[in-house]
Amino acid sequence: MAADVRLATEPFDPSAEIGTFARAHEAAGGVVSFLGQVRAGEGVEALELKHYEPLTLPGMRALAETTMARWPLAGLLILHRSGMMQPGEPIVLVCAAARHRRDAFAAADYAMDHLKSDSWFWKRERRGGAWHWIEPRAEDHADLARWG
């Protein structure tokens, strides 16, 4: 089964996406989801994600293929926003369905670690009316390195 990989420029409804995904994989014993959203507080006024179109979606698809090859999944959803977002809005949703929960958890974790640290997005936050670029942290690189 092919993964569902999408790049969105408009807000999406995480509950609806998770529900649709779970219904499509009712035979799976485990469905795991991770939702990343724009952090509220700490002075964050907005978040903007930019990307390079010729690399982003093909890179996301390659990540999905690698993830599906590494674990016996019934399905995988990777949905990522780009553009301007407000605090509380969803940024990324990863859902993995597998016969066994550990495979689903590991696959979702793997996909998120790669999206977070080895991705094709440039991220900046607006705080106090000024924009600041956000670089991956040392913890993000360590999370990625654990996959070998």
pLDDT digits (tens, 9 = 90+) for 92-138: 999 999 999 999 999 999 999 999 877 789 999 999 999 999 888 88
Tell me how far apart the alpha carbons of residues 40 and 29 are, in angstroms, rounded to a whole number. 34
Confidence of residue 145 (pLDDT cuts 50, 70, 90): confident
Rounded CA gap, 21 and 97, in Å? 8
Distance from C-alpha of 115 to C-alpha of 78, rounded to nearest angstrom: 9
Structural domain harbouring 32: 4-145
Q: What is the pLDDT of residues 17-52, one digit of tens each?
A: 999 999 999 999 999 999 999 999 889 999 999 998
pLDDT at residue 143, rounded to an integer: 77
Q: What is the pLDDT of residue 25?
A: 96
Q: What is the CATH number of the domain that holds 52?
A: 3.90.1170.40
Q: What are phi and psi of 141, to 5 degrees?
A: -65, -40
Number of domains into which the chain is organized: 1
Q: What gap in Å lies between CA 75 and CA 3, rounded to an integer? A: 6
Place of tokens 């016996």: 72
